[in-house]
């Protein structure tokens, strides 16, 4: 199956969800599923699903349904999960610790090679077997280990300065938990944001806007 470029972001955004649903099916012992059945479970239309998959060249076997394991593997390979990414976590507070532990357990693609903080009391602590290093050593570390992905778990105030460093140290992609707008300020970086406050505020809007408050 060939990988096509210029696929729209909305299709790409659905790929991880397909991957997740197919993983759940596998865990339930389901080996084959029709696009109709998959669409019912995912709240999409069957034609939407077929259209999404066709962006990447389709996944064969009309009438037979999809082979769950194979489909998940192919979607994983489209997403690029087979290529390990050397990943550093910046900020070893509550959030940094939680994310380090989570990534180590669930996201083997992102191999955590270093965790950094500038707080004396945190430096030297072990998180999932990885020591927290002094942020001052970030530069020499990057020159030795060549990480490509950084997870930003620092306060807003520290974000710009750290991004300036990261961008010259070879970091190509950032998973950004801060409120700092990395994509806007560092357009050469690949960025995904998890803005926790924004999600809470959007939920807040939904609660208040339906007239039954």
Judged by the rule CB under 8 A, the positions of this chain that interact with its own copies are: 3, 5, 12-13, 15-17, 19-20, 24, 41-43, 78-81, 83, 85, 94-95, 97-99, 101-103, 106-107, 109-110, 148-149, 156, 172-175, 179, 181, 183-184, 190-211, 213
The set of residues, in sequence order, having a beta carbon less than 8 Å from that of 189 and lying 6+ positions away, is: 163, 166, 167, 171, 172, 173, 174, 182, 183
Decide whether 23 or 65 has the Cβ nearer to its own copies.
Answer: 23
Nearest to 31, CA basis, from 72, 67, 62: 67
Q: Is 35 exposed, middle or buried (0-12, 13-18, 19+ CB in 10 A)?
A: buried
- Between 24 and 136, CB nearer to its own copies: 24
Distance CA 78, CA 146 (A): 24
Q: Write down the least CB distance from residue 110 to its own copies, Å.
A: 6
The least distance separating its own copies from the CB of residue 69, rounded to whole angstroms, comes to 18
| Structural contact between residues 159 and 180, judged by C-beta atoms closer than 8 angstroms | yes
CB of 206 to its own copies, least distance (A): 4
Contact 115, 152 (CB under 8 A): no
When the beta carbons of 90 and 175 are compared against its own copies, the nearer one is 175
- Minimum distance of its own copies from residue 64's CB (angstroms): 26
């Amino acid at each position: 199956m060939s990988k096509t470029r210029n696929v729209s972001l909305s299709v790409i955004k659905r790929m991880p969800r397909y991957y997740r649903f197919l993983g759940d099916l596998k865990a339930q012992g389901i080996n084959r599923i029709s696009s109709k059945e998959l669409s019912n479970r995912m709240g999409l239309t069957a034609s939407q699903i077929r259209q999404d998959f066709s962006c990447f060249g389709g996944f064969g076997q009309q009438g037979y349904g999809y082979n769950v394991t194979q489909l998940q593997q192919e979607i994983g390979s489209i997403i690029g999960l087979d290529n390990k990414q050397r990943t550093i976590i910046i900020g070893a507070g509550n959030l940094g610790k939680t994310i380090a532990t989570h990534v180590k357990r669930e996201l083997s693609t992102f191999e955590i090679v270093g965790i950094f903080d500038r707080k004396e009391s945190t430096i030297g602590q072990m998180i999932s077997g990885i020591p927290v290093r002094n942020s001052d050593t970030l530069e020499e570390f990057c020159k030795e280990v060549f990480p490509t992905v950084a997870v930003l778990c620092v306060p807003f105030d520290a974000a710009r300065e750290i991004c300036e460093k990261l961008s010259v140290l070879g970091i190509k992609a950032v998973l950004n938990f801060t409120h700092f707008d990395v994509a806007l300020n560092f357009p050469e970086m690949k960025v995904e944001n998890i803005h926790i406050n924004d999600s809470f505020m959007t939920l807040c809007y939904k609660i208040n806007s339906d007239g039954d408050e």
